[in-house]
């Protein structure tokens, strides 16, 4: 997982987490899990709705990831598995680079 974070960093990928948790809960989660990237509080669900993220129940959205390039969403993963997620994103980046290269 840490290797994936370093590889994403090397590719210039900026990771931003968004959750509907309150700020205090996010800070605790970030500290306990040693999350290196910023987390955005979206407790009203405005970002969640804008990106069309599935709601599992009120106040809890599904884990999803988006790659945005030049202001456009170029990749979406709706079935995020935390253990393999960094590698999934790296594979998607490689595919995008091949298409644009």
Domain CATH for 68:
3.40.30.10
State the DSSP H helix or E strand holding residue 95, giving kind and residue range, or none if neither: helix 85-100
Note the pLDDT tens digit of each residue in 70-100. Answer: 888 999 999 888 888 888 888 998 888 887 7
State the DSSP H helix or E strand holding residue 77, giving kind and residue range, or none if neither: strand 72-77
In angstroms, what CA-CA distances link 25 with 20, 39, 52, 79? 10, 11, 23, 24
CA torsion through residues 66, 80, 82, 23, sign: positive
Which residues span the domain enclosing 80?
2-100
Cα separation, 11 vs 50, whole angstroms? 26
Note the pLDDT tens digit of each residue in 36-77. Answer: 888 999 999 999 999 999 999 998 999 999 998 888 899 999
Report the domain count for the chain: 1
Residue 53 region by backbone torsions, left for phi larger than 0, else alpha for psi between -120 and 50, else beta: beta
């Amino acid at each position: 997982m840490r290797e994936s974070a370093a590889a994403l960093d090397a590719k210039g990928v900026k990771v931003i987490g968004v959750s509907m948790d309150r700020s205090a809960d996010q800070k605790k989660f970030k500290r306990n899990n040693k999350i290196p990237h910023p987390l955005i509080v979206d407790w009203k669900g405005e970002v969640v709705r804008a990106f069309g993220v599935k709601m599992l129940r009120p106040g809890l959205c599904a884990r999803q990831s988006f790659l945005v390039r030049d202001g456009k969403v170029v990749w979406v993963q709706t079935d995020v598995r935390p253990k393999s997620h960094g590698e999934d994103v790296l594979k998607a980046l490689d595919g995008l680079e091949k298409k644009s290269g």
